[in-house]
Structure 1
Amino acid sequence: MQDGEEQGNTKPMRGESEPLLGRRASSVSRASQLLPKQLTTRHAFAVLVTLQIGSGIFASPAQVDHNVPSPGAALLVWVLGGLLSWAGAASFAELGTALPLNGGMQEYLRHVYGDTMAFLMAWIYIMAAKPSAMAIQSIVIAESFASIASRPLSEWLLKLIAVVAFVAMVILNSISTRTTLRLSESFTGIKILTVVLIVVGGLTAVIVHFVDPDSHLSGGTDWYTKNWFGTRAPAPEGDPVDWTSISGWERYGHYSAAIYGGLWAYDGWDNANVVASEIRDPGRALPRAIKVAMIVVLCSYELVNVAYYILLPWDTMSSSDAVAVVAVTTVFGRWAGIIISILVALACAGSITSNVFTVGRLAVAASQRHYLPAFFSKRGLPKLLKRSPAQTPIPEPDSSDDAPFYANILVLIVTLVYILTGSFRALVTFVGMAMWVFYVSTVAGLLILRRREPQLHRPYKPIIVLPVTFVVVGVLVIVRSAIFAPIQSGVLAGLLVVGALISQFRHR
């Protein structure tokens, strides 16, 4: 590593002595250096795309549409969400290349604020944020199966399908890093295919309209008969919103909720940094992967939402969380809806794969920092689950026996609790709040580091306006969430208090 990075890793933390910290930091640095450099720009791109294109783009459009006065405003919200995520990704790229250690945000927060803040991030992410996010993906998989069933499924049967789907993903991700990378690349293709099919469906409806306006394949009529930026009447379903009479404060609340839904769909842009120490030439590969992935995702989300508004009547856009399935089924029939349902389920499975991949390594890094028991830093399958040497050739040292099996088991148990007890809407709000508290804290830390450690080697350094914009808008999102979602914010505050108490107990 560069000299600046080595110095950063041995900086004293509040409440710890220099020798103790030096030993801990050195051990983590050595552990990171020993990891095989298996990841390329292509792999990092695949991780980012598979994380971002998941259930969000197929479910969040309903929340965005409900909280804006027109389809044109909804499309602008999706652009704003993409640009804000891009600003965050660029900021994280600077931190990831300056401090390329497994653990991502955990390591950046430790370096800037000290051990307690890093512990809180690891505590919230491993025990709440990431498991909740994977629970959401699992629930969407179950609902995708329900949408193609011949009869309604009970709530507990849906929970069982979600549990089975998640357990299968954890098992596949516990074989080896190479297996996970292959899965990630395969799911990337499936997700992009799903997006392309929806966009092609919208384009087909447009072409059919000009050839035969009376054809049922021409989609809805609103897209060519109404003003895309005209303020619409209150929605006939759900809570009506009269945009001509609401106050500025209420309008701010609705727009914040819309942006929040868009940000949930984009979430995942930070995760390539979690495995920065396993990326070859991170100074070049990581920023390039983030840039290309954000362009692909932003353009995909805009085109998909345009297709939704072409295929569906506008007053039904916000009535279902399964917008993709409803849109395709309405225009092209049940069999087309079944195909999209299957593809959406596979897209969510891909997001689970990438989430298990990153949170498992986050747990390993937390264990190496003594935030979790050392048991969770072990890699490879237990001996009881391995075949004897006589049954299989000796594996390549850099391709197998390196998955964080024990950390994955921890993630499995915690996520199953959220699957069995949570709902889609409640979990989405909770996950977003938990993540953005640390997103904003981390990017604010970047600004602190630029002033405090200007000599730190930074292979990639975005213009200052990007992190500043991210922090300002992020604070507004957090404040809005705390005011309008008091239950979720109360739970998050309680977890932070418990984490702080545990952190203080650790230092005694």
Structure 2
Amino acid sequence: MDASSHESADDQNIRHPRPTSTSSETEPLLARRPSNLSQASSLPKQLTTRHAFAILITLQIGSGVFASPAQIDSNVPSPGASLLVWALGGLLSWAGAASFAELGAAIPINGGMQEYLRYVYGDTMAFMMAWVYIMATKPSAMAIQSIVIAESIGSIVSFTSSGADTTLLRLVAALALIFIVILNSLNTKFTMRLSESFTGIKITTVFLVVLGGLVAVVAYLVNPKSSLSGSDDWHERNWFDTRPTVSNATPVDWFGMGTWERYGHFATAIYGGLWAFDGWDNANLVASEIRDPGKALPKAIKCAMVVVLSSYELVNVSYYILLPWDIISSDNAVAVTAAARVFGQWAGISITILIALSCCGSITGNVFTIGRLIIAASQRNYLPSFLGTRGIPAFTSRYEGEAQPAITAATEPPANPKSKLRSRIDAPIYANALALIVTLVYVFFGELRALLTFTGMASWIFYVSTVLGLLVLRRREPQLHRPYKPTVLLPIMFVVVGILVIARTAIFAPVQSVLLAFLLVAGAAISKIRSR
């Protein structure tokens, strides 16, 4: 029997969109193709390039660009070096995004990294990725954003995060998270409208910060003594001269430190930049719901990376114009401080509100993508099957068991009231509930800096493994149809730098490293038991 007979028609269409022969040359390739990919056609293709762009923007522009500047500035010797780190983080993220665009166009199914890792390495690696992402990485990211929202609200209504008020802070974070998850548990179209709205808010916030820097420059040129001209440092000091900084409340002696210690500081700075850019992989989680993913996905990723990289560079230039350089490294709310210091308290409050809304957008994007990841995991039997249910359980069935095509202009609306309700409420209710419960645990018991380190390290282990898998596929399956194929230098650069980042983090964050190693070993053990 021919090897291709074991695959569904959808599987063969993903591999070979155009008619192709089943010669002996292609049979080995088809034999290695994972089975049970029917989800690629069962999910309605209702997302466009604009929607994929909105998902990426809402996830990437969150609290990172407004909080990470302190971590980066404190670990580099000059403002110029800080801007170079931001550019390096953006280019490295772009290399990863381009690599994921190739995979998403070649294997356009929901699940993102889970499916790519399964395709290259097998079931155990895919299960470990789903296990870690669903139980740790995504919930940690949403917990961080929820806490930032609570801190933003607290700064306006004057409650603090110290002492007895810590409980109140976490309660506000939990309520904000619950509200956002409920909003995203209606239907896909409503969630996409939310994402697009938050995209506008995020770009507006970035524009206002950049405008503040531009106003300061113009004010200085008109009147050097103007109160709107920002700090004196930006026009009196060399942007690449070494100056003292403070890292973790400890002064940094840039002139007396050794090479290894300097490397540690620069690695920490790059890590902060990469966390701010994180989220570039999330459009791949909904690849099967995107119309013409071979063209739409790479285009959305390119546009998003141009916007995000440009925004981050301009925002950080504005920070160095508006604020004295000696306070940036110790301020975790640099955007709010810059606005309030130059333009008054009302400006600080306005930026605080916009940052909180930006974090709401990031949670919206994360809820949307983790829901799709949980569905993909349940369809692979990595999780209980009921978690794959979309919509109201009493009126819908799991996609693996019943395909539910999109309603188009050529089809009549369903007359059955249950079918109408199913078409309107199609959010993954159970998946969202699982994500909410796990995230609430991190909100009440997690610590921000520890969560940041753990989330970043876990993400990058799978990022590097996935892009390394892309290089393996290029050699192992050169005939795999690739609508988009960037230069091989991009994935190679990403893998090399990613390994260095992971190694540095493992050395300097042993607690998080041990916890992550435990999760990986536990995931591998559970996968083996499950397969038996």
Alignment TM-score, normalising by the size of structure 1: 0.93
Q: Which residue of 2 aligns with 1:241?
A: 252
Alpha-carbon distance between aligned partners in 2 of 1:493 and 1:151, rounded to the nearest angstrom: 38
Tell me which of 449, 461, 468 is aligned to 2:492: 468
Q: What count of residue pairs does the alignment treat as equivalent?
A: 489
1:167-316 maps to which residues of 2 (within 5 A)? Answer: 167-235=178-246, 238-316=249-327
Q: Is residue 246–residue 330 contact of structure 2 (8 Å, CA) maintained in 1?
A: no
C-alpha offsets along residues 144-166 of structure 1, whole Å, 9 cap, x if unaligned? 11121235351111101110111
C-alpha offsets along residues 116-148 of structure 1, whole Å, 9 cap, x if unaligned? 000000000000000000000001101111121
RMSD in angstroms over aligned alpha carbons?
2.1
Counterpart secondary structure, 1:185: helix
Alpha-carbon distance between aligned partners in 2 of 1:193 and 1:258, rounded to the nearest angstrom: 26
Q: Is residue 4–residue 457 contact of structure 1 (8 Å, CA) maintained in 2?
A: no
1:392-407 maps to which residues of 2 (within 5 A)? Answer: 400-407=424-431
Alignment TM-score, normalising by the size of structure 2: 0.89
Offset at residue 6 of structure 1 (A): 4.6
Counterpart secondary structure, 2:251: coil
Counterpart secondary structure, 2:311: helix
Tell me which of 91, 96, 99 is aligned to 2:104: 96
Tell me which of 411, 434, 458 is aligned to 2:458: 434
Offset at residue 237 of structure 1 (A): 8.1
Q: Which amino acid aligns with 1:117?
A: M
Q: Is residue 135–residue 415 contact of structure 1 (8 Å, CA) maintained in 2?
A: yes
1:375-454 maps to which residues of 2 (within 5 A)? Answer: 375-383=386-394, 400-454=424-478
Gaps of 5+ in 1: 9-20, 386-391
Counterpart secondary structure, 2:35: helix
Alpha-carbon distance between aligned partners in 1 of 2:372 and 2:179, rounded to the nearest angstrom: 19
C-alpha offsets along residues 221-277 of structure 1, whole Å, 9 cap, x if unaligned? 111111100001344981111111111100110000000000000000000011000
Q: Is residue 208–residue 215 contact of structure 1 (8 Å, CA) maintained in 2?
A: yes
1:121-200 maps to which residues of 2 (within 5 A)? Answer: 121-152=129-160, 154-200=165-211
Distance 1:32 1:2, change over 3 A: closer
Tell me which of 24, 35, 52 is aligned to 1:25: 35
Q: Is residue 93–residue 277 contact of structure 2 (8 Å, CA) maintained in 1?
A: yes
Offset at residue 396 of structure 1 (A): 5.5
Q: Is residue 51–residue 355 contact of structure 1 (8 Å, CA) maintained in 2?
A: yes
Q: Is residue 15–residue 106 contact of structure 2 (8 Å, CA) maintained in 1?
A: no
Distance 1:200 1:394, change over 3 A: farther
Q: Is residue 33–residue 119 contact of structure 2 (8 Å, CA) maintained in 1?
A: no
Q: Is residue 114–residue 130 contact of structure 2 (8 Å, CA) maintained in 1?
A: yes
Q: Which residue of 2 aligns with 1:16?
A: none
Q: Which residue of 2 aligns with 1:17?
A: none
Distance 1:405 1:398, change over 3 A: closer
Q: Which residue of 2 aligns with 1:362?
A: 373
1:3 aligned onto 2:27? no
Offset at residue 32 of structure 1 (A): 2.7
Q: Is residue 395–residue 422 contact of structure 2 (8 Å, CA) maintained in 1?
A: no
C-alpha offsets along residues 173-231 of structure 1, whole Å, 9 cap, x if unaligned? 11000110000000000000000000001111111112222222111111111110000
Q: Which residue of 1 aligns with 2:115?
A: 107
Q: Which residue of 2 aligns with 1:45?
A: 53
Q: Which residue of 1 aligns with 2:28?
A: none
Distance 1:2 1:119, change over 3 A: closer
Q: Is residue 177–residue 399 contact of structure 1 (8 Å, CA) maintained in 2?
A: no
Offset at residue 384 of structure 1 (A): 9.6
Q: Which residue of 2 aligns with 1:14?
A: none
Offset at residue 22 of structure 1 (A): 11
Tell me which of 43, 67, 77 is aligned to 2:85: 77
Q: Which residue of 2 aligns with 1:117?
A: 125
Q: Is residue 144–residue 341 contact of structure 1 (8 Å, CA) maintained in 2?
A: yes
Alpha-carbon distance between aligned partners in 2 of 1:464 and 1:458, rounded to the nearest angstrom: 13
Alpha-carbon distance between aligned partners in 1 of 2:158 and 2:69, rounded to the nearest angstrom: 26
Q: Which amino acid aligns with 2:14?
A: E
Alpha-carbon distance between aligned partners in 2 of 1:23 and 1:477, rounded to the nearest angstrom: 32
Alpha-carbon distance between aligned partners in 1 of 2:460 and 2:246, rounded to the nearest angstrom: 30
Offset at residue 501 of structure 1 (A): 1.1
Offset at residue 25 of structure 1 (A): 2.7
Distance 1:31 1:397, change over 3 A: farther
Alpha-carbon distance between aligned partners in 2 of 1:145 and 1:181, rounded to the nearest angstrom: 25
